[in-house]
Each structure stands twice: as structure tokens, then as C-alpha cells.
Amino acid sequence: MGARYRSGKLTNEFALIGRLRERFADIGDDAAVVEPPEGPLLLAADSVVGGVHADLSKVGLDDVGWKAVVVNVSDIAAMGGRPLYLLVTVAAPAGTDLERLFDGIAEAAHAYVCPVVGGDLSRADCLVVTVAVAGTVDGTPVLRSGARPGEWIYVTGPLGAAAASGWTRRPLARVAEGVDARAAGATAMIDVSDGLAADLTHLADASGVGFALDEVPVAPGATVDQALGGGEDYELVFTTPVAGSAVGFRIGRCTDDPAERTLEGRPLPALGWEHSW
């Protein structure tokens, strides 16, 4: 956890690191020392960039911190896993309200029961909050590549809310749903960060299958296009040979034609989602 500042004096630099340590008591040595999981080690990292993923005139820095944690926890959830530890690295302009940023990070770390065990602070000309997460899974992780023709496609909740509202202040990662889906026999899974059409295409491509959707659950106030193309809902979409899964909504089926991507028999519209929060 080397402190690296150019413009600040050393005293300020260490004071800032000290604030990070005060907020996250587990931060101490050069590297954090934690118990390794008994099962597979899951690792992911992702950034939230001020002005790109977060319009700082609309959202608070606590919301930025929350989101930076949640997008990573969601990546663990999409494996059927659970998060264990967080590393938080902040590059921020002078004058950034770091306390408020840390508030949101701490709230998400608490909500998902994964302590911040390390990290770093740097001065920069723009705000970049990077979180890395270590997690594990109680059994075999659910990859994107495990779907087979004939299997059913489920989603853990209605979609399009983030697109309909323009942004979601405090998105949620579906950790419990992912664990339940894995336990119920999920063969492939991904989180809906870029939109159902895009993310299900990633899953189908990785698995070498096509998909035929019957219907998509649409969040209140959202359109079908927003449910298909809107990102940042962080629901999980998964496949399973079990037709009557108790987890989520059944939306369609995997097919043996890798080129097939249909909704109600019609080709899926090409929908892009530009993350904007």
C-alpha cells in the first residue's frame, strides 16, 4: 500500500492514507494477510470513472463508492459465488470529498459482508475508483460457457429499471440469487451489466448455443427495449436443464443454432447500451 503523491507533502500523503486506514481498520501492512478460501479463489476488478460511469452532478460520491463495490460483487455473484475481501484504489483530484466516497464504500462492504483489507490513494486529474474483489464459491463456479441446447433461460428479476430512470443510485448485486441459482443447477450465468441482449449474447457465444426468448420481465415504467438493451440492472441471467426452477423468471430456451437470437420468433433488435449512470 505505497502512498504515491507528487504535489502533496509527505505529511499530507500519509495523513490521507491514515484516513483510509482509520476508515478501514483491516488495512495495515504492505499487503493484506487473509485466510485463503477452501474452495476456488474468484478474482475480479473493475473501475468507476467520474464523469463517465457517474455524472457527479447527479449522484453523490457515496453513491460512486457504493457502485464501485457493487459492480465487482456482482461479478462474483455471476459465478454463483460470494465475496470475501475488497481492495479499494482511489485516484482523485485535490478537494475530492473522500470521506463521502468512503462512506458509500463502507456501506457496500458492510452490506455484502466483505471487508476492505487494502488499497491505495493517489492524486489524479480525474476520479477513478477501482475495486478488486476476492471471493469463493461453495462448489463448482458457474461459467459463461456451460449452456447446452435445450436448456432453459432464467433471469433473476425484471429488467430495464436503470435505463428507464436514467440511473440507479444504489444498484444491488444478486449474491443470494446467484448462490441459489448455482445450487439449483445453473449451467451458465452472467450478470446484466451491458443489457440482456448483449450479456446473453456473451453467454451464448461462450457456450456455442443460440437462444429463443419467449418473453422478458419488464420493470415498472420501463419499455421492452429498455429491458432488452438497458444495462446496469445487475440481475443475473442463467441457464438450467430444470424447467421449473424456483429461482427467477423463465424467459426462453437455448437452441442448437449458434446464430439464433430471437424474441417471440423475431430476430432480436440490435440494441446498444452506453453506460452513463
Query: Which residues ranging from 85 to 114 are in contact with a second copy (CB under 8 A)?
Result: 85, 87-89, 91
Of 215 and 272, which CB lies nearer to a second copy in the complex structure? 272
Residue 28 or 267: which CB sits closer to a second copy? Answer: 28
Find the binder of a second copy among 123, 174, 253, 261 (CB under 8 A): 123
- Placement of cell 451489466 in the chain: 193
CB of 7 to a second copy, least distance (A): 8
Choose among 147, 171, 150: nearest CA to 159.
Answer: 171
How far apart CA 207 and CA 194 sit, in angstroms, is 18
Question: Taking every pair of C-alpha atoms in the chain, what is the biggest distance, in angstroms?
Answer: 65
Nearer to a second copy, 104 or 171 (CB): 171
Cα 211 → chain centroid = 23
Give, as ranges, the residues between 177 and 216 that touch a second copy (CB under 8 A).
Answer: 190-191, 193-194, 198, 206
CB 74 within 8 A of CB 191: yes
> With binding defined as CB under 8 A, does residue 37 bind a second copy?
yes
CB 244, min distance to a second copy, A: 26
Closest to a second copy by CB, 89 or 156: 89
Q: What angle do CA 14, 102, 111 make, to 5 degrees?
A: 140
Cβ atoms 155, 227 nearer than 8 A: no
Cell numbers for 64: 460512486
Binding residue (CB under 8 A) for a second copy from 111, 143, 184, 224: 143
Q: Which is nearer to a second copy, 145 or 166 (CB)?
A: 145
Question: Could you say which of 16, 23, 24, 44 contacts a second copy (CB under 8 A)?
Answer: 44
Closest to a second copy by CB, 52 vs 242, is 52
Cell of 49: 470513472
Selected from 94, 113, 126, 176, the binder of a second copy by CB under 8 A is 126
> Per-residue x/- marks for a second copy, 210-249, CB under 8 A?
----------------------------------------
Half-sphere exposure of 246 (CA within 13 A, CB side): 4
Answer for which of 16, 20, 23, 53 binds a second copy (CB under 8 A) is 53
Surface-to-core class of residue 216, CB atoms within 10 Å of its CB (0-12 exposed, 13-18 middle, 19+ buried): buried
Strand-strand pairing, 261-263 and 210-213: parallel
